[in-house]
Chain A
Amino acid sequence: MMAPVAEFRSACSTEEAVTWLAELGADGCVLAGGTDVMMQYARHELGPAAFVHIEGIEELAGVGRDGVVRIGALVTHRRLAEDAALRTSNPALADAAATVGGWQTQSVGTLGGNLCNGSPAADSAPPLLVADATVELQSRAGIRRVPLEEFFLGRRRVDRRPEELLTAVEVEPLGSRQAEVYLKVGRRGAMVVAVVGLAARLSFDARGAIAAARVALCSAAPTPLRVRSVEQALVGLDAALPGWQDATSPSLRDGIDALMHAVSPIGDLRSSEAYRRAVLPGLLARAIEICRARAGVGVPEG
């Protein structure tokens, strides 16, 4: 039997969108760029009574700055990759955005959609997690703010009620003597869903040793996740010492051990579980190396 054709409503304001969402409840489906939704609809994975199209809501498409960086839900990956100010304040997010699908996907796919879709492979999640992101959810009942770490509940499950619209994500910009990076593993140079992804934001002390670390992953567990045990293990690591990346160097090895404990990757069509585990140590080491170079600490050649 053919699924009944869904109604299409295009909202002009947040107000209008949340009114409709309240009215529709579980029968409504938010439609932003549609790069996830339309594929799921075509595969009959969802059959909403109505789509609430939100791309026309201008107030959700801005980037603001007031101590924290506030990124509207409708900001596209292409904008995240290209925006000069964002590239400075949140370079790992720009790294990640530039790896999402291809040019076309980046041009219509939105940050809000990437998070609300709840994929364990969402590329924007690790960089947002290391920036201590908070998501803002709005409904007719008011505004609810949820730390991103608590927003992800499970595979394809997020802490958003059907009547809520994700309006913005607030993130910490990079501080001084901090650097961050997002590394994504995939077989091709573009158009790949992450086999695993790793973001690191590292603070260095004056000597160039790691003073504080934040590390987050995607495609390594049922949800994107922060790995605090790894973060603790990395503190004090002096990546300026020769041979630091040698697996016998205490902190890196502890970091890797913690990493391997924290993850629970699966095997699927993209990769085996063993491969996902096998690439993680190298990714962590490389992330540290790149952060050091980006922070400009202790790099002889600059």
Chain B
Amino acid sequence: MTVAVGRSVARSDGEAKVRGVADYGVDVVLPGMCHGALWRAPVPSARVVSIDAEAARRVPGVLAVLTGADVENRPTGISLCDQPLFAWPLVRYEGEPVAAVAAETVEALEESLGLLRVELAETPAVADLASALAPDAPLVHPDWASYASLSGAQWPRERNVVCELFSDTGGVDQAFSSAAHVVEDTYRADRQYQASLEPHVAVAEYGAGRFTLHVAHQFPFNVRDRVASALGVRPSEVRVVGHHIGGGFGAKLDVSLEPYAALLARAVGRPVRMENGRSEDLMTAQCRENAVVTIRSALSESGELLACDFDVVFDSGAYAIDAPYLASMPMFAVGSIYRVGQARVRCRAVYTNSSPTGAFRGVSGTYLVFAVERHLDHIARELGLDRRELRLRHLRRSGEKMLNGQTLADADILRECFDRAEELAPFSSLGKGPYRGVGMAACVWLTNPLAGSAVVKLNEDGTVGLVTAATDNGSGAVTMGLRQIAAEELGVDALDVVISMPDTDVSGYDAGSQGSRTTRVVGMAVKAAAERVRERALAVAADHLEISPADLELAAGSVQVRGAPSRRLQLAEVAKLAAAHGGPITGAGSYSTPMPAYAPTCATGLLFPVFPTPTYHLHVAEVEVDPSTGNVRVLRYIVVQEVGRVVNPTGVVGQIQGGVAQGLGYALWEWLALEGGRYRQRTFESYGLPLSVDVPRVEVVTLEHPDPESPYGAKGVAEPPVVPVAAAVANAVSDAIGAEINCIPILPEAVLDALASQDGAGARGVHLSRGGAGAEAGGA
């Protein structure tokens, strides 16, 4: 029996957050602190002709004005080093920093920004994917060929294509030429904003040759490295201190304001605070990218998938950020869940003069799975096949390989996902009635393998200290999961595990809150560290009790004799004894997941080659479409998810519900449209997040196939629930109206257009759903 793992242990930061006393990034105030802000380019493409900062500098209270002329402005990045600190001389996206100002007050700051004279000569913008790929397209980066990659790795890239992945099993064209059926579709997805309640914020100070940054960031060590490289100092000269994060969802993995805050702090010799306004945050958040996916499938007479030609073009925006890595994602969307026969995959990440895109929970998986699953439904419709049956016929089995050559040892879990969903609600029983429909979508997802570490110490009062730079971005991975693992190992109450906030000076390296890695990867480190503490505690107690350590166990905050629990030493006593006999008890642990084997020759441009610790997912959505308005209501939502082991039931269900809500927002309400490289939506008034009244109760089934390589068997949980949502919903909507919905978000207008085309010749019939409900947007 476990004492902590598997239980709904409360999060350690819950009460402080509910009471409003938790210290978030936005709450940091330092003595002598002043304020900083950026002058951001108002156009997507221009040349900076001149900057006259005279008047801006003369505003009383202004402490510094910095531009590209005042700094080294070396290009840096997390994949390709293509991004300078300041637009100088080229402006490549609307919102790009042109100058940074520090002032005593926010008022002086605003006045100074208003007086900065920046002369820009606008140049033609590369406004969208198609124009970026045109042979005569202007280059977003005229110097693209000279850029170095961070790791030294090379990959295929040319002009506006920042990375091209290409993979071909061979035999694709032959399969198409002899196929009984060919089905082709093109899918489009717009961008999605992470929309964390806390915008980007950074407080920097500089003294004694070192920078200290106070952040609410998912990846403090990346802030350290990125600030160091942008400023040309050693990483160890930068200390990053983490605070509670008011939401990140990927937007707080790369740096944003931090390098500018550090620059200004050094320039003025005082702490500088910077915070994005909401529109500023939306416009520069590194949103989920827009993309176009074309799939062509060759099928046998009976509907066997023989070959697939899969082409993706996605928008990296003005800089590479992580796009070269994301270009590999199609390798895990095609041929991973369903056998597709021979496959050719091409994915191009493309520069445009728009805000750079980047990491967002589920990254490109959302629209890739949308494309794959919509395409399957379309095939089923074309060939008159049952949609579930078509999927089951092609479902991967354990031991089969994905396109990257990686073996899925446990893919039979997929079949279990389908069976469990069927038990809960038979697919053919859902979506009945006028304008109702049902859809399903499956995916495989990874648990990010990157390195983590922890130190566990036995405190002198018998509590346990856990020091790690792993960050809790709100998921509970640290405040529940890691605490529970330490408590379980040491037989203490989870409430008696005290966790540190991240601090790069204090903790070992941690690869940040990304890819559902914390519970599994850092959990392994915590477990290893706690094992050392346990060994030492047993040894110390054994000495004192004059008994073999093998006869001792840790339980209920004590070391006790097996079978005779009344013979025991409280952990507080053990800690004190240890101090006098060899020193305090601490243990350190480190871990990174070994990379699974794959076929390096399967593709070119494959920078993200494997999906370690895979998990399997099936989502089912039932919807009703309002035929008068085209609005979609989600009636029922079912998730079957493999999690390895449920460490905290409340946490697992919460993450799945949250992921689904975010996926529903992506599918139905959140719309971030580009026009000429600029965002049309810029506030929460026009960028509509889902509300509690819009999101149904999510029915969650967790499957537990413990991973022997994981702490208590736990695999990644929190990232993937967002991935298949748009696919399941779009399939359900298409089913409801009997027409293909191939764009994300599913705009009511598109639904009405599809309905009208169903009516033939565009007749505008009057659609009334039964009962007359639906158009009344009920308030609270």
Contact = CB atoms under 8 A, between A and B. Distances in A.
B779 A106 contact: yes
A278 B752 contact: yes
A270 B686 contact: yes
B650 interface: no
A141 interface: no
Interface stretch (B194-202, B460-468, B536-544, B762-770): B762-770
Interface string B667-705: 011000000000011000110101101100000000000
Contacts of A279: 628-630, 752
Contact of B772 (A186, A191, A278, A290): A290
Contacts of A283: 628-629, 775
B780 interface: yes
B669 A188 contact: yes
A154 to B, nearest CB: 22
Given A279-B752, A282-B766, A192 B772 contact: no
A98 B778 contact: yes
Contacts of B631: 185, 187
A1 interface: yes
Interface in A272-286: 272, 274-275, 278-279, 281-283, 285-286
A70 to B, nearest CB: 24
A183 B775 contact: yes
Which of B628, B686, B756 gathers most chain A CB within 10 Å?
B628
B619 to A, nearest CB: 21
A99 B778 CA distance: 6
> How many of chain B's residues touch chain A, expressed as a range?
35 or more
Contacts of A285: 628, 766, 768
Interface string A236-272: 0000000001110000100010000000000001111
B111 interface: yes
B766 A190 contact: no
Contacts of A269: 680-681, 686
A282 B767 contact: yes
B768 A282 contact: yes
B765 A190 contact: no
Interface string B746-780: 00110010001000000111111000100111111
A184 B775 contact: yes
A284 to B, nearest CB: 8
A1 B766 contact: no
Interface string A24-43: 00000000000000000000
B36 interface: no
Interface in A121-168: none
Contact of B777 (A190, A271, A274): A190
B114 to A, nearest CB: 7
Given A187-B631, A188-B694, A95 B768 contact: no
A247 B765 contact: yes
B736 to A, nearest CB: 16
Contacts of A191: 688, 691
Contacts of A190: 691, 693, 777-780
B627 interface: yes
Nearest to B686: A269
A293 interface: yes
Contacts of B111: 1-2
A142 B683 CA distance: 42
B386 interface: no
A171 interface: no
B691 A289 contact: no
Interface in B448-489: none
A195 to B, nearest CB: 8
B114 A1 contact: yes
Contacts of A187: 631, 668-669, 688, 748
A279 B628 CA distance: 6
Contacts of B749: 271-272, 274-275, 278
Contacts of B110: 2
Interface string B631-643: 1000000000000
B36 to A, nearest CB: 19
Interface in A174-221: 181, 183-193
A81 B780 CA distance: 10
A42 to B, nearest CB: 11
A57 to B, nearest CB: 26
Contacts of A256: 766
A81 to B, nearest CB: 7
A293 B629 contact: no
A207 to B, nearest CB: 21
A275 B629 CA distance: 9
Nearest to B627: A282
A248 B441 CA distance: 41
Contacts of A184: 775-777
Contacts of A185: 629, 631, 775, 777
B107 interface: yes
B780 A103 contact: yes
Contacts of A245: 766, 768
Contact of A275 (B686, B688, B694, B752): B752
A281 B627 CA distance: 11
Which of A100, A103, A269 gathers most chain B CB within 10 Å?
A269
A102 interface: yes
A245 B688 CA distance: 33
Interface in B105-120: 107, 110-111, 114
Given A275-B752, A283-B775, A98 B694 contact: no
A131 B780 CA distance: 25
A300 B71 CA distance: 79
Contacts of B627: 282
Contact of A189 (B628, B685, B693): B693
A81 B691 CA distance: 20
Nearest to B755: A278
Which of A81, A97, A103, A184 gathers most chain B CB within 10 Å?
A184
A243 to B, nearest CB: 11
Nearest to B764: A281
Contacts of A282: 627-629, 766-768, 775
Contacts of B766: 245-247, 252, 256, 281-282, 285
Contacts of B688: 187-188, 191-192
A76 to B, nearest CB: 12
Interface string A92-113: 0001011110110010000000
Contacts of A188: 669, 688, 690-691, 693-694, 777
Given A1-B111, A269-B680, A271-B749, A189 B768 contact: no
A20 to B, nearest CB: 29
Contacts of B756: 278
Contact of B780 (A98, A186, A289): A98
A81 B629 contact: no
A192 B110 CA distance: 31
Contacts of A275: 630, 748-749, 752
A269 B688 CA distance: 11
Contacts of B629: 185, 279, 282-283
Q: Which 5 A-B pairs have the closest CB atoms?
A: A282-B628, A98-B779, A189-B693, A275-B749, A269-B686
Given A98-B779, A181-B776, 8 more contacts: A183-B776, A185-B775, A187-B688, A190-B691, A190-B693, A269-B686, A270-B686, A283-B775
9 contacts: A98-B778, A102-B691, A187-B688, A190-B693, A190-B780, A270-B686, A281-B628, A281-B764, A285-B628
